[in-house]
Homo-oligomer: A and B are copies of this chain.
């Protein structure tokens, strides 16, 4: 094959490989790098990002993209070309001077936030956040112009290609209307039962690592194509052929690290299952953050907090930790893993209350980008929203608008993908079980092959061939439907 499209494939392969090198260095930074190397590492990463940007900003690219559209292409190639254009648009929509100013503003603001949060000092970081917000609005306007979307959608598109606020509003409103009663009901059902028992620790790190590796292996994580390590903030990084997940161990509570590992394993299985024939091409990459998060939540929330999973996992955990007695039964562990509580902090939230945190942030960031809310009023707006959605009030900004890094670091438009992911997970798992009724029974026996096979065929192996919406329609028969997630919550948390 020759022609413009073939030339583009060669160029994007180069870009893909540079991006993989960046991914590996990012992993190293978090998991291996000694502290004194931070500044040198920042320079290395910045240089590789410049190299990658130069590849996308090459002035010959627009012509190649146009010419390639006239090439004879199959469906995968055409989808690949569309993804190339999307990447090119994002890379070139914003002038270089704005990119540099934005990057600097974000790192200055993030550094200030790292001090402001523990000090509960929103005022000290507000001017820097204002600078980030101003520049974010500029970036959003520039990208919106090229993408033909609203400014907020242009930000969203960086994480959730093709995401639309009208649809998100509809989904989130559906949920927000029902959440207060759902939370109330879940708490009442929980109060009516005896409280579950906490297994007594300590749980040595090595035993936790062994347990994590055993469960990961059963789930399908391939240790000849990946690693499990430690880092301050757990994440899934690396590349599809070398997926690196990290966790953080707490010897007083094995569940925290373990559920984190299972969550990251969901991300890892997605990355590993991306179409090998399209490696290093845009169409071979993960579809976006709602689908990515759906894969981690499908494993963590839908599967690993289910009774079936614990039937299999409880004996494994008893074995790894030398546990015995009533605290270690599958039913008790199930009850522990599905506790509900109104909390102030998103990352500590359970499956039922988590969407309230996300919906609040989504509404606030949309208002901020639209200049309908000013930063001076953010703490009050936060408190009001928490009261409305969760019926709790933050005692201070540390437990309020200072808690998440996202806005301070420039990740505007990211928040909704968490709950879109949770909804997508519920809908996909529901469809998987309808298509393969043997899945829950197999899970109870520690056999994840039927589930993984379905996910490979219906999600992982599709890469970015289809939009998130199309993936859902193909796999489940309809676009995202908040009622399926709602039904899942009702069954799990309101039934006896």
Does the CB pair A21–B48 fall under 8 Å? yes
CA distance A17 to B51 in the complex (A): 11
Do residues A224 and B35 form an inter-chain contact, with CB atoms below 8 A? yes
In the bound complex, residues from chain B placing their C-beta under 8 Å from that of A25 are: 21, 24-25
A256: Cβ under 8 A from any B Cβ: no
Chain B contacts for A51, CB-based, 8 A: 18, 51
Cβ contact within 8 Å between A48 and B224: no
Q: Give the size category of A's interface with B.
A: 35 or more
Q: Check A17 against B44 for contact (C-beta < 8 Å).
A: yes
Residues of B within 8 A of A47 (CB): 14, 17-18, 21
Residue A2 interfacial (CB < 8 Å): no
Q: Which residues of B contact A17 (CB under 8 A)?
A: 43-44, 46-48
Question: 8 Å CB contacts to B: which residues of A1-53?
Answer: 14, 17-18, 20-21, 24-25, 28, 32-37, 39-41, 43-44, 46-48, 50-51
Q: Within the oligomer, what is the number of copies of this chain?
A: 2
In the complex, what residues of B have CB within 8 A of residue A279's CB?
40
Q: Tell whether A24 pairs with B20 under 8 Å between CB atoms, given A34-B224, A40-B239, A239-B37.
A: no
Decide: A227 and B32 in contact? CB cutoff 8 A. Answer: yes
**Residues of A218-255 contacting chain B, CB below 8 A:** 222-227, 239-242
Nearest-CB distance from A35 to chain B (Å)? Answer: 5
Which of B34, B39, B44, B239 contacts A227 (CB under 8 A)? Answer: B34
Kindly identify, within residues 460 to 481 of chain A, every residue whose CB is under 8 Å from any CB belonging to chain B: none
Contacts of A18 in B (CB 8 A): 47-48, 51
Top-7 shortest CB links A-B: A37-B242, A17-B47, A40-B241, A36-B224, A36-B225, A37-B241, A21-B44
Instruction: List 30 A-B pairs, Cβ < 8 Å.
Output: A14-B50, A17-B46, A17-B47, A18-B47, A20-B40, A20-B44, A21-B47, A21-B48, A24-B24, A24-B25, A24-B28, A24-B44, A32-B32, A33-B242, A34-B223, A34-B226, A34-B227, A36-B222, A36-B224, A36-B225, A36-B241, A36-B242, A37-B225, A37-B239, A39-B241, A40-B240, A40-B242, A40-B279, A41-B242, A43-B280
